[in-house]
A and B are shown apart, each in its own frame.
Chain A
Amino acid sequence: MRLLEKLGLAAAACLLGANVAAADTIVKWLHIEVNPAQVKIWEEVARSYEASHPGVKIEMQFLENEAYKAKLPTILQSKDRPHIIYSWAGGVLKTQVEAGVLEDITDSVKSGGYSDTIAPAALAAFTQNGHVYGLPIALSQVGFLYNKDLMAKGNVDASKIKTWDDLLGAVKTLKAAGVTPIVVGGADKWPLHFFWTHLAVRVGGKPAFDAALKGENGGFAGETFQKSGELFKQLVDLQPFQNGFLGFKNPQAVGYFGDGKAAMILAISSFYHTQRALAADKVGLSDDKLGWFDFPVVPGGKGEPSDTLGGITGWLITKGAPKEATDFLKYFISKDVQARLAVGNFIVPVVKGGEAGLNSTFMKQIAANLAKSNYHQNFYDQSLGPSVGRVVNDVTAEIAGGSMSPQDAAKAIEAAYKQGN
């Protein structure tokens, strides 16, 4: 009998203990960042938020990029879903909103003039039908990051690469000099789609993309998209990539560039930083060895040279998240924290005044490019949603591997777009 009593007391104690623990609000925050230097700052920001908000705990969870994308639909429908998740906006966000798995945080974001501190275009990316579901954290641009030493070894003046033909010429010269011209993570497919989509941005510009969305001019099977495939094929035919590029995952490829084994990489501006973390020696290429040139223009192309392809990345609040999650997010996307991340050159800030922190000429250049761009195209594979976006990635990988013609590739995208979701 006494044993039972003891057990009862122990159980009661446990219940009480559980109650005390439940008084703490835990904010679960799922991210995909691979750069330890940046994650370290995030951790510090989270801890400082906890210090000023007793009873709130910020829990960081990590998933690798591809795994994250694959698991997200399941994660979002679980009762135990994280409260803050990473997002590239676009069609994937639209799908999530339609499914009702995101929290409408419009009121919280609009209150106290907070939303005015953020660049309108960036905030718009996380707004659907006038409702805000998340906050942007950074903008990025796609362009060529190059290794100055290897370019010099191949006798190529990177500052003179302005047109697609210039790029093809540079590839030939570099190959002749025994330098691997371009490294790409072909196994992940999306790094390959940068070539094709950026060509489409140059060939057709915004009008072509908008028309394709409406199904005009042959949709994605139309002239613009066939042409970008053909131009991409011109490059592929020169065999510009490292050996076995279809087996390289993106982190491997970025590391390969950081190791100084290839002259160029068609990069997201943030690779400027990740190449250090992913290089074999964890040091990578120093600033004075790195160069950048914008994606070359295409003769007769309708896109402006200042048009940019890139990402608008940010964080979403999921349905049923505690209000502390939104509060923390607002704290995280504030001028102070953005400036702090800018000082480390991790991001091009979205909060007004945040860019003042940027101290590398490289990141300042990217920020300037984005500021003067009138058409910033979000990555196609995000913008078109999971189903069509993945087909874009597939077919560009197939063009690169030589198993599909540019015409068939464009048709495959259009077919997927029509099937839709």
Chain B
Amino acid sequence: MSHQLNTRCTFRWFTRTAQAATIAFTLRLPAYAETPDVALSSLGCRGCHAEKEGQENGQLSDLASLRRFAPGEIASRLRDYRDGKRSGTVMNRIAAGLKDGEIEEIAGLLGKRP
């Protein structure tokens, strides 16, 4: 009985690990293809939207502290800046240099953590 349980657990563990590995692999894939590494790209954003380690909101400032926003909200704002649906000062110009997939992933890296 206990042996069966262990086998089932091991199998479940294996399936989950395989799933996680597949997701991780899919997400990592762009880093070694033609497209830029979005994790590295997102660090560029921190030249303005700085974050001090260990502090969710970074330094207090008049620039939006990105950790307050859900990734979906950041992504939709970036797309709106890029497509001219939202007016800004510099963000329209920066978002114009980003592609759809990159916007989603950058937003995921900079936004509120789950």
Report whether chain A binds chain B.
no
Chain A residues proximal to chain B, CB less than 8 Å: none
